[in-house]
Amino acid sequence: MITIAVDCMGGDHGPRVTLPACTRFLERHAEARLVLVGLPESLGAYSHPRVTVVTASEVVGMDDPIEVALRRKKDSSMRVAIMQVKDGAAQAAVSAGNTGALMAISRYLLKTLDGIDRPAIAAQIPNAKGHATTMLDLGANVDCSAEHLLQFALMGSVLVSVLNGGDDPSVGLLNIGEEIIKGSETIKRAGELLRSASNSGDLNFYGNVEGDDILKGTADIVVCDGFVGNVALKTAEGVASMIMNFLKTEFTRSIFTKVAAFVAYPILSSMKKKFDHRRYNGAALLGLRGLVFKSHGSADELGFGYALDRAYDAAQNNLIDRVRVRIAHAAPLLAAGGTAVQREAVVTAP
C-alpha cells in the first residue's frame, strides 16, 4: 500500500482545497493511505480509515524567505510532511506551498542521489498533440553546466517513462535554433553529451528544439536551465490561460456567437480540456533520495488531486530506484564530463 504525506496547509487555499482533494483521491485509490499534516484546528475533525493525522504548529507562508522556512519554522506542516518521507512513514510528499522553501527543505532533509549534483523541478505543459511536454529545470537552478543538463535529461526520461508508460521518450535540448552549431558553449557541450548518451542507449535524444516546439509537442521532454525554463513555463501558462479565457468569453457576446459556440461546442470542449493546466498539475522534485511533488499554489480541488495522483504513480512505479539505475548506467559518461565526483555543498541548517 502506497502512503503519501500531504502538507494540507500549503498553497493559496490550504485545507479548503487539500482536504476535499484528499477525500476524492482515497475514493480513486483503494490501495492508498494518506498522512495529513497541518494545524490541529484545521485537521482535528477529519477522519478516514486510511488516514493518519499528524499535527504541526507552524505554516510556511507563500512569501516566507527560504531562510525562515528552513531555519526558523522547524515544525512547519511542510517540513513535517517531508520528514514522513525521510523516516519511511510515507513514500512521497505533496505540497502546494512556497516552491523555494519546499526545494530547500527537501534537499536538506532528503539529500541528493549519488551521481546527482543538483535536484531539478520537472513539470508537464499541455501541447497541441493533446498530451504534455515535460520540462526541466523550471527554476531550481539558474546556472547549469552541460553535465547538469545531461543529468536532468536522464532523470526526466525516467519520470516520463513512469508517468506516461513509455520506455523511450524523446529528449529535446532547448536552444535558439535546431543546428548543432548554435547556442552558447554550455548548450553546445550539452548537445555533445546528450548525443553520446543517446548513442550509449541511456536516453533518446531528438536534438535541439526551439521555444515553439514546447507547445507543439515536438519532443516528449525539453531540457534547459532553470532561468530559461521558468520563463518558458510562465509564458506557456499565459498562453493556456488566454485560450481558456477566450473560450469562456468570446463566444457569449452576441446571439450569433452563441449559436456559433453551440455548433462548435464539441470542438471547443475538446480544446478546453486539452489546455486545462489542472490536468497536468504536480511538478516532481527530481534527484532527491525521496519523492516530493509540488502542486501549483493556486490549484483547486481537481488540480491538487492530479498532483496526488502523480505522486502515487511515481511511488508505485519505484521512480527513485529507476533514477538510480539510469544514473549508474550513465556514470562513465558523467565522469568523462568531469562532474561525476564533484559534489556541491548540501544545504545545512543548525
| Span 128-183, pLDDT tens digits | 887 889 999 998 888 899 999 999 999 999 999 988 877 789 999 999 999 989 99
Query: Pick the residue with more confidence: 335 or 69?
Result: 69
Kindly report, residue by residue over 291-323, the tens digit of the pLDDT: 999 999 999 999 999 999 999 999 999 999 999
pLDDT over 70 (residue 196): yes
User: Other C-beta atoms within 10 Å of 247: how many?
Assistant: 16
pLDDT value at 3 more than 50: yes
Helix axes 226-249, 265-274, angle to 10 degrees: 160
Q: How confident is the model over 202-235, as pLDDT tens digits? A: 999 999 999 989 989 999 999 999 999 988 888 8
The pLDDT of residue 346 is 37
Written as nine digits, the cell of 253 is: 457576446
C-alpha cell at 166: 513509455
Q: Please, which residues have CB within 8 angstroms of residue 35's CB and are 6 or more apart in sequence?
A: 3, 4, 5, 6, 51, 52, 53, 54, 81, 84, 89, 90
- Owner of C-alpha cell 529545470: 137
Is the alpha carbon torsion for 201, 206, 208, 212 positive or negative?
negative
What is the reported pTM? 0.86
Averaged confidence pLDDT in the chain = 87
Q: How far is 6 from 223, CA to CA, in rounded Å?
A: 28
Q: Which residue has the higher pLDDT, 220 or 349?
A: 220
pLDDT for the residue 264 = 58
Question: Comparing 252 with 231, which gets the higher pLDDT?
Answer: 231
Span of 28-32, 303-307, 325-329 with lowest mean pLDDT: 325-329
Q: What is the mean pLDDT of residues 102-107?
A: 96
Query: Do the beta carbons of residue 191 and residue 223 sit within 8 Å?
Result: no
The percentage of the chain sitting over the pLDDT mark of 90, rounded to a whole number, equals 68
Question: CA 51, 56, 62, 68: dihedral to nearest 10 degrees?
Answer: -150
Q: Report the b/e string of 196-221 with b at 16+ CB within 10 A.
A: bbbeeebbbbbbbbbbebbbebbbbb
Q: Which domains does the chain have, with CATH numbers?
A: 1-114+287-317 (3.40.718.10), 120-284+319-350 (3.40.718.10)
